[in-house]
Amino acid sequence: MQAIGRALWYVESHLGEPFALADVARVSGLSRFHLARTFAAIVGQPVLSYARARRLSEAARLLSDGAPDILQVALSVGYGSHEAFTRAFRDQFGLTPEEMRARRSLATLPLTEPLRMPDQPASNAIAPDRFVSGKAMLFAGLRRYFRFDERAGIASLWHAFGPHLGSIANTIEGAAFGLCLAPADPDDDAGFDYAPAVEVSSLDDLPEGLSGIRIAPREWAVFRHAGHVSTLGATCAAAGDWLANSGRQPTDCAMQMLERYGPDFNATTGQGGCEVWIPVN
């Protein structure tokens, strides 16, 4: 159901800030009552309980990696104080954030992973809107590995990238990009690297934590996705099907696909459409 897909996307992309059921309902297109009932029936728990579990699961990952400042972890997942975060964390997992950090392991912890709805069929016949013969491009982005069954977590990576927008030196204005890249291990067929990014004219002066990504000149098949961003996977899959049946195959390259979000895209609602670019040479 697309409405629940939109609700899940909103939760994942707003893990670091407080929101109410009404906010999720507005984006989903349902009333609060119908959202609460439908979400619980499909997901298995209420909207805000799912959001709480997702926030604390992301916090547990940070703590298991040895995050030095527990208050910063609390703030990054929407808690305003160390005390409130500690109380919620203990209620969720049965141990304190300090104990989680000392433990350095997520083994046996009942984490709540990102949930995504099955991709809906694309709303229109899939064929490229156009072909673009592109020049070399440079990007600055926040790069992270995802298993294919973890793709719902991409929304929270965009949230983490948000504070960098507008402050990256040498940014070429006009669009933001989601880069789908081959993983570092060439034998890895279980996942991919993803990076929310902006195009830049130079990779000098990158902010700490961001990766510089170079894309060689190539031709792209461009597909328009007019629906909500939560259904983008259907367009991506259909574009891949087109490529498989087109007789045109990409050369072996790091860039698997890119998403282009132009000025019409609304990051708050997930509406406005975007483009899927597939390399075809």
In the chain, where are the structural domains located? 2-103, 130-279
| pLDDT given at position 250 | 56
What does the DSSP 8-state code read for residue 186? T
What is the fold of 130-279?
Answer: Multidrug-efflux Transporter 1 Regulator Bmrr; Chain A (3.20.80)
Per-residue pLDDT tens, the chain, 281 aa: give them. 678 888 999 999 999 998 999 899 888 888 787 888 888 888 889 999 999 999 999 999 999 999 999 999 999 999 999 999 999 999 999 999 999 999 999 999 999 999 877 665 544 457 899 999 978 999 999 999 998 878 888 999 998 999 999 899 999 999 999 999 888 787 787 888 999 999 999 999 999 999 999 999 989 999 999 999 988 888 887 887 787 677 775 555 677 889 999 999 998 899 999 999 988 87
Q: Are 70 and 101 in contact (CB under 8 A)?
A: yes
| pLDDT given at position 188 | 81
| pLDDT given at position 24 | 92
The CA distance from 63 to 79, in Å, is: 15
Calculate the average pLDDT of the chain: 89
Q: Are 9 and 155 in contact (CB under 8 A)?
A: yes
Query: What's the whole-model pTM score?
Result: 0.73
| pLDDT given at position 34 | 80
The helix/strand/coil state of 152 is helix
Tens of pLDDT, residue by residue over 190-214, are 888 999 999 999 999 999 999 999 9
Which top CATH class is 2-103? Answer: mainly alpha
Count of residues for the chain? Answer: 281
Q: Nearest-5° angle of CA 93, CA 99, CA 104? A: 95
What does the DSSP 8-state code read for residue 42? H
Q: What tokens does 29 get? A: 């297109």
Tens of pLDDT, residue by residue over 137-185, are 999 999 999 988 788 889 999 989 999 998 999 999 999 999 998 887 8
Backbone dihedral region of 262: left (phi > 0), alpha (psi from -120 to 50 degrees) or beta? beta
| pLDDT given at position 123 | 46
